[in-house]
Amino acid sequence: MLVNSLSTIRSLLVIAGTTSGVGKTTVSLAIMHAFNKKGLVVQPFKIGPDFIDPSYHKIITGKESRTLDAWFMGRDGIVSTVENAIKDVDIGVIEGVMGLFDGMSGRNDFASTAHVAKILNAPIILVVDAAKAARSIAAMIFGYLNFDKKLKIIGIILNNVSGPKHEKYLIEACRNSIHVPILGIVKRDKDLKMDERHLGLIPPDELEPSQRNKIVRLTNKVSEEIYYDKILSLIKTRKSKLAKRISDKSKVPKLVKIAVALDNSFNFYYTENLNILRNLGAEISFFSPIDDTNIPEGISGIVLGGGFPEVMADKLNSNQSMLKSIKKSGEQGIPIYGECGGLMYLTKSIAGYKNSKKVFHMVGLVDATTKMTGRLTLNYTNADMNSTFGNMKNIRGHEFHYSKIENLSSDSKFAYSLKRGIGIDGGTHDGILTYNSIASYMHLHFYDSRFPKMWIRKCIEFQRK
């Protein structure tokens, strides 16, 4: 049924890159911005595991960006996510991941931008960084156009073009050998580069007003250098039916209240994950481990997502009241679920950010310490769970961090046996268990609802005690 319905998904556009760092995010934001200015309702999407880029999508479109990942969600999950999100919009703009064909291995394009584009039968605009070449760029584009003839690459956008002479050479080279149109020529401007740090772009909530203004200027500038009328002539769009939309007033009964950490230290959440928790009966109360003195009252579970606790370690350490509140709750058996940054926060301390020797004390619920390494751990993960939390096979996730867990207690217990990934202890285990809490480097997408269903049951059981 889902395969047959693919033909109805017409108003989609994939923004892909030849490699990472060619300007996909900048171009994607500019296209979203320009479509909005033309009166189109835009739904953003992001291919691959990413928490930060989607938050920039929301700044431009006002809509929560949706994740599309073949490893987490499979073909049916990708199609159903797109179908549900695009019902009442004019166009969906999908930002790709890494290079167009970069996926889980060199053998095929599984989990790549190309893979998702083929699943959705969606047209692709290829973003090319032209900074260090002229005629050679045409040879590169020719290779991308012919590497997989199943793809629908409808045009290219040339980024980092230095000036009129460079632009002329590029146009001449493409005119003689490339049979798709140039859909934009973006001039080089070093002053409008987005600010980054070790995990990518800085989350929007942390940006100073001057930094936000820079993003607006960048988006406006780039949007003026892309040929939107030509793009719209190459894709199919449909008129939004927002005015005729009938809202579904049915409500999921609230079975349990949970607290979700949300501030500059913890903000890596998939929109779908929070919505799935709500659909399972959770009433979510957000709180700040930096600014609030205690966890919210009346809760029966705590979620500590990923984020940047190492950056905010001094502020987290200063909030002793919150640290004690979370530790006491964990020792009393309240279910706590921590992912990556949440794991780090639950250990005894965090040290080593920017090579600093200063140690910042954290919650201490997990009998271990965290050290920043400067070395990236980046993997898709696969694990089996066999613990008091349940028995589940092939739980898929991903890990992305620059830290390691040290001084683990010799009697530590783990929820996950890893079949793929590094985890907490170097490739064998992840998901350290303490009291009624689980904390892991692995990030989960709740499209596979087995874990969230189990965790909500644990919260309900705690509530009934």
- Residue (of 366, 373, 312) closest to 343 by Cα position: 366
239 and 261 housed in the same domain:
no
Q: What is the pLDDT of residues 189-203, one digit of tens each?
A: 876 666 665 555 666
200 and 307 housed in the same domain:
no
Task: Please state the rounded mean pLDDT for residues 58-80.
Answer: 94
Q: What is the pLDDT of residues 373-412, one digit of tens each?
A: 989 999 999 999 988 778 999 999 999 999 999 999 989 9
* Whole-Å CA distances, 39 to 36, 61, 227: 5, 11, 16
Is residue 251 situated within a structural domain? Answer: no
Q: What is the CATH number of the domain that holds 156?
A: 3.40.50.300
Residue that is last in its domain, among 244, 277, 295: 244
* Whole-Å CA distances, 398 to 40, 119, 144, 247, 252: 34, 21, 28, 35, 30
Give the count of domains, the chain: 2
* Whole-Å CA distances, 80 to 74, 75, 348, 443: 10, 9, 42, 21
150 and 121 housed in the same domain:
yes
Rounded CA gap, 280 and 455, in Å?
A: 10
Residue that is last in its domain, among 244, 274, 301: 244
Q: What is the CATH number of the domain that holds 346?
A: 3.40.50.880
Residue that is last in its domain, among 181, 210, 244: 244
**Catalytically annotated residue among 128, 340, 346, 395:** 340
Is residue 249 situated within a structural domain? Answer: no
Rounded CA gap, 168 and 181, in Å?
A: 15
413 and 278 housed in the same domain:
yes
**Which residues, listed in sequence order, are joined to residue 349 by a DSSP beta bridge?**
361
221 and 303 housed in the same domain:
no
190 and 308 housed in the same domain:
no
Residue 409 phi/psi, 5-degree rounding, is -65, 140
Is residue 173 situated within a structural domain? Answer: yes
What pLDDT is recorded for position 176? 83
Is residue 161 situated within a structural domain? Answer: yes
40 and 168 housed in the same domain:
yes
Is residue 250 situated within a structural domain? Answer: no
The DSSP code sequence of 433-463 is: EETTEEEES-EE-TTSTHHHHHHHHHHHHHH
What do you get for the CA distance between the two ends of the chain, in Å? Answer: 44
User: Please, which residues have CB within 8 angstroms of residue 294's CB and are 6 or more apart in sequence?
Assistant: 321, 322, 325
Is residue 119 situated within a structural domain? Answer: yes
Cα 202 from chain centroid (whole Å): 13
Q: Identify the domain containing residue 459 by its residue range.
A: 256-464
379: helix, coil or strand?
strand
Q: Is 459 a catalytic residue?
A: no
User: Please, which residues have CB within 8 angstroms of residue 148's CB and are 6 or more apart in sequence?
Assistant: 101, 109, 114
315 and 206 housed in the same domain:
no
Q: Report the range of poorest mean pLDDT among 134-138, 200-204, 241-245, 251-255.
A: 241-245
116 and 228 housed in the same domain:
yes
219 and 266 housed in the same domain:
no
The band of 449, judged by pLDDT with boundaries at 50, 70 and 90, is very high
Q: What is the pLDDT of residues 13-41, one digit of tens each?
A: 999 999 999 999 999 999 999 999 889 99
226 and 261 housed in the same domain:
no
138 and 65 housed in the same domain:
yes
- Half-sphere exposure of 182 toward its Cβ, with a 13 Å CA cutoff? 21
